[in-house]
Chain A
Amino acid sequence: MFNERIMQRFVNPKYAGGLRGANGTGRCGNSECGDLIKLYISVNDDNVITDAKFKAYGGVCTIVACDVACGLIEGRSLEAALRTNYYQILEEMGAVPENREYTASLAEEAIKNAIEDYYKKKEKELKR
């Protein structure tokens, strides 16, 4: 049902878990729909994402899409990370069953929400 690459990543997700000192958190989905994602980023003063982690309640592809998304944005500037999209995530995952392709767009949304959250926090900090 799932390709080897997906299964490998599902069993050993590199970026799963919480992130101490995260300064941006992106939430998306909800448990009623079967997927809830929290994507954490740690951004340095040069606007580079130094760390990315996720926690997810969802199926195999949801977990893998989050793991792929974290891998795609870690080490990149916020500007570059914002350009990460659904297609890049899907491509990294390999062949994805059609009814699970939505997980890539959830992961994309989580990235955008995490970056937005970072900017909001930053703005608050500056206003203080």
Chain B
Amino acid sequence: MSCVKGCKMAKKVYLDYASTTYVSSEVLNEMLPCFNAIYGNANSLHSFGREASSIVDRARDRIRNAIGAAKSNEIYFTSGGTEANNWALRGLAHAYSEKGKHIIVSSIEHKSVLDACACLEEEGFEVSYLSVDKNGLVNLGELIHLIRKDTILISIMAVNNEIGTIQNVKAIAKIAHDYGVIFHTDACQAVGAIKLNVQDMEIDAMSISGHKVYGPKGVGALYVKEGIRIENLIYGGSQERGKRGGTVNVAEVAGFGKAVEIANRDIVINQQKLRSVREYFLNAVKERIEYVEVNGHQMQKVNGILNLFIEMVDKESLLMLLDLEGVAVSAGSACTSNSIEQSHVLKAIGCDDERANSSLRFSFGKNTTKQDLDFAVDALVKSVEKLRSISALTKAGRR
């Protein structure tokens, strides 16, 4: 690649698609007119408003279709997955608090669920944290054991953001309903990766996000099945059926709707491609670097995420060296990796501290090429060799 002035621009490879994606051109084209041509307030009665409103309606319909919801008005737009998760946990818990104050979540949920739970605990709710096995799967027997008479909500993510494990959502939802408990799932990593059908999977509430599927950042949605009560999130407007006031961000919502529609439309081809990308990368890494293991489930996981334990190297040092080589990866969830806090997900699947300290997440996108992977593997080989040559851990000291 070279820049306009003829100088050589260093190649860069992005392998952090699970953190966020770029906005695809199809999505961008859907959004652009909403900034200056269709600029009415979607809640205004005049033609400008009605035009904007029709765009918002279309986006809602697209999302309804993609997730198999019965009605479009079961979709509430939010500012993203974190807001949707916060709202689901807090809004459902408070709406059903007369029935009970007990909630069950898995121990590998995203921080937006875990921190919302911590807040609920301070407000007098009781939260049980369901353990997972070494593959990251929740134990359904343990789930049944944890359900009590006063359990009102079970929230378990569909796909884990760090290791990619896919939960048996339908089975979990069935168990929840057998005991009369509401089931919410954080599906931010699941859209476009696995087929979602909220009716078939018996999901009562589901969070999704735009920027994981080549849509814009700052927009997401909470699906709430008709008949399920949820407390209002923002007061001061009739938007989102009065539950979340505030002028609708038409451009973002339009892009989000389009992105989810495309993700669903291209799911098979994208997943086939991502599977071969991941396999190519993993084989190349294993061939050229010793002492590398995969964290999480070997089979029941999304194709775009690969979490690797690379022995004898520290994740932060490796991440920084790779970055200097032009390869962007993640030391876990972007929401926590700014701190030296260890991954709660890797700890929950039984990784010891050293393994958690030496694991990195590689995540691939629909435009990742073989050249990108070769470039990344070369950089990884170089960086790992460098760090191992100065590591205080030795092969002799391996478990």
Contacts A2-B320, A11-B324, A31-B392 known; 12 new A-B pairs at CB < 8 A: A7-B320, A10-B317, A13-B390, A34-B342, A36-B392, A54-B390, A57-B312, A57-B392, A57-B393, A60-B316, A63-B317, A99-B340
Bound complex: CA of A10 vs CA of B320, how far in Å? 9
Asked if B317 and A59 make an inter-chain contact with CB atoms under 8 angstroms apart, the answer reads yes
- How far apart are the CA atoms of A24 and B316 in the complex, in Å? 29
Known A11-B324, A36-B392, A38-B392; judge A58-B354 contact (CB<8 A).
no
A32 at the interface (CB under 8 A from B): yes
**Residue on A with the closest CB to B356?**
A34
Query: Which residues from B are CB-within-8-Å of A7?
Result: 320, 324
Tally the A-B contacts, defined by beta carbons under 8 Å. 61
Q: Which of A27, A31, A32, A60 has the most CB of B within 10 A?
A: A31
Q: Which of A11, A13, A37 contacts B392 (CB 8 A)?
A: A37
What 0/1 pattern do residues 384 to 399 of B give for CB contact below 8 A with A? Answer: 0000011111000000
Contact of B314 among A1, A17, A34, A100 (CB under 8 A): A34
Binding site for A on B (CB under 8 A): 312-314, 316-317, 320-321, 324, 338-340, 342, 352-354, 357, 389-393
Chain B positions within 8 Å of A32 at CB level: 352-354
Q: B387 → chain A, closest Cβ, in Å? A: 8
A12-31 contacts to B, CB under 8 A, are: 13, 16-17, 27, 31
- Asked if B314 contacts A62 (CB within 8 A), the reply is yes
- Closest chain B residue to A100, Cβ basis: B340
Question: How far is it, in angstroms, between the C-alpha of A17 and the C-alpha of B388 when the chains are bound?
Answer: 10
Residue of B nearest to A2 (CB): B320
Q: Which residue in A13, A33, A56, A100 is a CB contact (below 8 Å) of B391?
A: A56
Give Cα A11–Cα B339 distance, bound, in whole angstroms: 21
Which residue in chain B gives the minimum CB-CB distance to A59? B316
Chain B residues near A59 (CB-CB < 8 A): 314, 316-317, 340
Contacts of B313 in A (CB 8 A): 57
Q: With A11-B324, A58-B317, A59-B316 in contact, do A33 and B392 touch (Cβ < 8 Å)?
A: no
A55 within 8 A of B: yes
With A17-B389, A33-B353 as known contacts, state yes or no: A60 contacts B320, CB within 8 Å.
Answer: yes
In the complex, which of the residues A17, A33, A34, A60 contacts B390, with contact meaning CB atoms closer than 8 Å?
Answer: A17
Encode A58-80 as 1/0 by CB contact (under 8 A) with B: 11101100000000000000000
Inter-subunit contact B390/A31 (CB<8 Å): no
CB distance from A59 to the nearest CB of B (A): 4
> Which A residues lie within 8 Å of B352 (CB)?
32
B357 contacts which chain A residues (CB < 8 A)?
Answer: 31, 34
Separation of A68 and B391 alpha carbons in the complex (Å): 17
Instruction: Please measure, in the bound complex, the distance between the C-alpha atom of A58 and the C-alpha atom of B324, giving whole angstroms.
Output: 17
Q: With A13-B390, A37-B392, A56-B391 in contact, is A31–B320 under 8 Å at CB?
A: no
> Are the C-beta atoms of B314 and A58 separated by less than 8 Å?
yes
Contacts of B393 in A (CB 8 A): 31, 36, 57
Q: Which residues of B contact A38 (CB under 8 A)?
A: 392
Q: Known contacts A10-B320, A11-B324; is A55 also within 8 Å of B353 by CB?
A: no
Name the A residues within 8 Å of B324 (CB-CB): 7, 11
